[in-house]
Amino acid sequence: MNASETAAKVRSGELKAEELVKNRILKIKELNPKLNAFLEIFEDSALAQARAVDAKSPETRGRLAGVCVALKDNILYKGHIASCASKMLENYKAPYNATVVEHLLKEDAIIIGRTNMDEFAMGSSNENSAFGPVKNPLDLERVPGGSSGGSAAAVASGMVDMALGSDTGGSIRQPAAFCGIYGIKPTYGSVSRYGLVAFASSADQIGPLTADLEDNALLLEVLSGHDAKDSTSANNPAFKPEEVKTEGLRIGIPSDFLENLNPEILAVLEAAKADLSAKGIIFEEISLPYAKYASPCYYILTSSEASSNLARFDGLRYGYKDNSAGDLEDSYLKDRAEFGPEVKRRIMLGTFSLGSAHAEDYYLKAQKVRNLIKNDFVQAFKQVDAVLMPATPNTAFKIGEKAEDLISLYLSDLYTAPANIAGVPALSFPYGKDSKGLPIGLQLYGNFFDEAKLYALAKLLEK
C-alpha cells in the first residue's frame, strides 16, 4: 500500500490512524538502533495526532490522514527539538511551525519524529552528524548519502511512508539515489523555506523523499505553494500532479558534462535511454558547457551564505552557551567551538570568500559563474523538455572510505548541484543496480515549475 492508499483507508475509517502509528513506532524502535536514522520519535504527539484524526468525521479527514511522515532535523515543529544534528542546537525547541509542517498538519499527516542528518546539512554521507553516522539500510557498512541520510534511510527501511529532506546541493537526491528511493529538489521558491534552518538561502529547498513515485508527487503537492512568510517564495500556484502526454517529449543528454562517467552508471543511463526511446521519447544531444563548474561555484557561494547565516549562533541568542566564558571574545571562542569540523571549515571558507580582499576573486566571480550555469539550462530548455543524467558519480560508499578525501566527497554533488545553482527542479529516481547490487540513481532535470513532466517521465521507467 502506498501512502495515498493508506490515507484513503484512514479517511474511510477502514484503517485506524492510531493502529498505524503504533505499528510504525514499534518498527522504528526495532530498526533504529541499527540504522541511527531517527534522532527522536515524537511518540506522544504522534499518538495524540492519530487519535484526533480518528475522532474526526470521515469527510473532514485530510489527504495524508494517518500517514507517518518524518522531518529532517532542520525543520521546525513547534515544541519539539530541532537540532540540525549539532551540539550547538542539541536542546533547541522550535517556537513555531515551519510552513511545510503547517501544510502536513492541515492534511492530517502524522509527524512521527526527526531524522539524523549531516550537521547543518553540510555533507554527503551523514558522517558529519554530531550524533553518529546513519547506516544505509541496504548495506550497514555503507553510508546512506547526505545530508538528508536519516530521512532516506527511514523511508528505504520502511520505518515511514514519507520523509522531508532539504536540498542545497543534492541533499535530497543523492541520499535517495544511495538508498534506492525517489527524491525531488523542487523549483527554487515553490516550497516555503519559512521554518527551515538556513544553510545557503539562495539554494535551499525542502522536498519529499518516498519509496513510491506517486506518493512523491502527492507530498510535493501538499508542501508547495506561495507563502508570504518567505520573501523568496514564488507567486506561482501550488504544484498539481497532472496527466502529461509523454509521447514525443524531448530529452537531452549533456555528453560534454558526462565525460569520464563511471561505466556501470553509464550503462544504466543507456538502458534508461533505450527504455524511454521505445516509449516514444525523442533523445537529443545537448551541451551544458558550464555545468562542470557547478561544484566549485557551489562551495564558494553556499559557504559564503552559510558563514553569514550561521553568525546568529553566537551563544547569546540561540543554542549552546558556555557559562565559564569571560568577555565577548572568549564567549564567541567557547560557544562557537561547539560546531563540528565541517561546519567550521565552511564558515572559514565563506568568511574568506566574502572578505574585502578576496570577494572580487571568489564570491563575485562565483556569482557570475552561477549566471552562466543558469543560462546553460535556459538554453537547454528551449530545445528539450527534460535533461537526463546520473544522480551521483558513484554508488553508496563505505563508512569512513572518504573521510580523508574531502575533494572526492565534495564531488558527490557533481550532478546535483547544478539544479540548485540554476534554481530548476530535478528528480532522482532508482534505475538499475551496480555489480555490487547497490542501487543506481538517475536524475531528470526540468524547466522552472515543470515538475509534472519529470514525474510523468519517471513513471515510464518505474519498475
Point out the catalytic residue in the list 83, 124, 125, 147.
Answer: 147
Alpha-carbon distance of 239 to 452, in angstroms, equals: 8
Strand partners, 38: 115
Q: What share of the chain is helix, strand, coil (3-state, %, to 5)?
A: 40, 15, 40
- Interface with ligand GLN, residue 54, by CB under 6 A: no
By beta-carbon proximity to ligand GLN, the closer residue of 21 and 343 is 343
Q: Give the count of residues interacting with ligand GLN (CB under 6 A).
A: 13
Q: Which stretch binds ligand GLN (CB under 6 A): 97-105, 117-125, 150-158, 393-401?
A: 117-125
Q: Which stretch binds ligand GLN (CB under 6 A): 7-15, 77-85, 99-107, 120-128?
A: 120-128
Tell the smallest beta-carbon distance from residue 99 to ligand GLN (Å): 19
- Interface with ligand GLN, residue 445, by CB under 6 A: no
- Whole-number Cα distances in Å, 339 to 119, 310, 313: 8, 10, 10
Alpha-carbon distance of 177 to 443, in angstroms, equals: 9
Q: Where are the alpha helices (DSSP H) in 336-450?
A: 341-354, 363-383, 406-410, 417-422
Residues 6+ apart with CB under 8 A from 117: 72, 73, 74, 84, 85, 126, 129, 146, 147, 148, 149, 150, 151, 171
Tell the smallest beta-carbon distance from residue 355 to ligand GLN (Å): 21
CB closest to ligand GLN, residue no: 171
Q: Is 171 a catalytic residue?
A: yes
Residue 41 CA to its chain's centroid (Å)? 20
Tell the smallest beta-carbon distance from residue 183 to ligand GLN (Å): 11
Alpha-carbon distance of 305 to 228, in angstroms, equals: 22
- Interface with ligand GLN, residue 305, by CB under 6 A: no
> Grid coordinates representing 403?
573521510
Alpha-carbon distance of 144 to 176, in angstroms, equals: 8
Q: Is 331 a catalytic residue?
A: no
For residue 147, whether the previous peptide bond is cis, meaning omega lies within 30 degrees of 0, is yes
Tell the smallest beta-carbon distance from residue 207 to ligand GLN (Å): 10
By beta-carbon proximity to ligand GLN, the closer residue of 66 and 149 is 149
Residues 6+ apart with CB under 8 A from 296: 366
Point out the catalytic residue in the list 151, 171, 303, 353.
Answer: 171
By beta-carbon proximity to ligand GLN, the closer residue of 123 and 254 is 123
Tell the smallest beta-carbon distance from residue 378 to ligand GLN (Å): 22
By beta-carbon proximity to ligand GLN, the closer residue of 129 and 147 is 147
Tell the smallest beta-carbon distance from residue 341 to ligand GLN (Å): 13
- Interface with ligand GLN, residue 107, by CB under 6 A: no
Alpha-carbon distance of 374 to 294, in angstroms, equals: 10
- Interface with ligand GLN, residue 86, by CB under 6 A: no
Q: Which of 62, 66, 113, 123 binds ligand GLN (CB under 6 A)?
A: 123
**Strand pairing category for 68-72 and 162-167:** parallel
Tell the smallest beta-carbon distance from residue 265 to ligand GLN (Å): 18
Alpha-carbon distance of 280 to 3, in angstroms, equals: 30
Site for ligand GLN in 141-200 (CB under 6 A): 147, 167-171, 199
Tell the smallest beta-carbon distance from residue 100 to ligand GLN (Å): 16
Cα Rg of the chain (Å, integer) = 21
Q: Locate cell 543534492: which residue?
A: 170
Check residue 109 and give left, alpha or beta (phi > 0: left; psi -120 to 50: alpha). beta
Q: Is 147 a catalytic residue?
A: yes
By beta-carbon proximity to ligand GLN, the closer residue of 99 and 168 is 168
Point out the catalytic residue in the list 72, 135, 185, 453.
Answer: 72
- Binding string, 399-438, against ligand GLN, x = CB under 6 A? -------------xx-------------------------
Report which residue type is found at 10.
Answer: V
- Interface with ligand GLN, residue 353, by CB under 6 A: no
By beta-carbon proximity to ligand GLN, the closer residue of 170 and 315 is 170
Q: Which of 121, 399, 419, 461 binds ligand GLN (CB under 6 A)?
A: 121
By beta-carbon proximity to ligand GLN, the closer residue of 2 and 416 is 416
By beta-carbon proximity to ligand GLN, the closer residue of 353 and 412 is 412
Other C-beta atoms within 10 Å of 52: how many?
Answer: 13
Alpha-carbon distance of 441 to 142, in angstroms, equals: 16
By beta-carbon proximity to ligand GLN, the closer residue of 169 and 315 is 169
Where along the sequence are the contacts to ligand GLN (CB under 6 A)? 121-124, 147, 167-171, 199, 412-413
Active site residues per annotation: 72, 147, 171
